[in-house]
Amino acid sequence: MAAVLGGVTLGLSLSGGGETDGDGRKGPVGAANAGDGAGEDVTASPSPSTSPSTSPSAGKKEKGAPSATASPSAAPSEAAKGGAGQADAVPLTVRTAPYTWEDPCSQRYLIDRAPGEVPPPPLEQDVPAWTSAVGAVSSGGQYVQLTVQGTGAETVVVEGLTVRVAGKRSPLAWNDFAMGYPGVGCGGNVPTRSFTVALDAARPVVTPESGHRDFPFKVSESDPEIYYIKADASAYDVSWSLELKWSSGSRSGTLTLDDKGRPFRTSGNNGRPAYEFPLGGEKWVPEGTTKLE
């Protein structure tokens, strides 16, 4: 009597690209931003390259393969849930918020539209939908928040973050729009676990803010960590992502962190026409022309 064995393939569904890749190919810029209003807070699933060191059967990720950042509505993989692949389960999750504002006064976006075609500045929670609608790219800098948490009582060591540059081009020749209203005060303290990335550098690295600790850090289910990454660019239009290296006992791996399967994108804005939106106003005006009472 013949026995038939069926193979089951577990796949990860990734969003389509709209980003300029490292080979210079370019799709619609707006596609690189979340349009469902949930892009601020995304749960990162393990990338195909993540595998415990004790699992000899785990395959290696091919060079250039996409990361596996799942949308908030996507179900976690069996390994992430600790199902049949319990030994292979990644013991931590990372929620990536690429549209966080350090403060409204410092956040700007480059948009390939005339001022009359751009809606007023959004509230921070509405940024993903707003940037998607107008095809905006972070201008001069980008502020990314990472919430790292263990999936169980075991301690996981977050060993570090590495910057991966997918493409570097001349800055976008678009109009520059400031999110802060002229005359409205901004500011605040630098939160703990704050880091900077100079994207113009030949080899960008994650560097702790002055007076802040560097990696490694420890996390568990009851003791999460939040990291704030401030990336800046002036001379280039940069597509980039982060890789988080972790270890727990005899296991270790790497998670790729990006914008729902696409690289983050940050462009310099030097010399670009800049605009501001007066508080209570009806349209964008050249920056610096608002009369303050």
Alpha carbons 259 and 56: distance in angstroms, whole number: 30
Q: DSSP secondary-structure letter at 220? A: B
Report residue 128 as tokens. Answer: 């993903």
Report residue 43 as tokens. Answer: 């749960």
Q: How many Cβ atoms are within 10 Å of 101's Cβ, its own excluded?
A: 17
Alpha carbons 34 and 23: distance in angstroms, whole number: 23
Q: Looking at beta carbons, which pairs linking 58-64 to residues 24 or more positions away fall under 8 Å?
A: 58/88
Label the pairing between strands 225-232 and 141-150. Answer: antiparallel
pLDDT tens, N- to C-terminus, the chain (293 residues): 333 333 333 333 333 333 444 433 343 333 333 333 333 333 344 444 444 444 333 334 343 333 333 333 333 323 333 333 455 689 999 999 999 999 888 999 999 999 999 999 999 999 999 999 999 999 999 999 999 999 999 999 999 999 999 999 999 999 999 999 998 878 766 789 999 999 999 999 999 999 999 999 999 999 999 999 999 999 999 999 999 999 999 999 999 999 999 999 999 999 999 999 999 999 999 999 998 86
Phi, psi of 125 (to 5 degrees): -70, -15
Alpha carbons 159 and 245: distance in angstroms, whole number: 5
Q: Which amino acid is at 219?
A: V
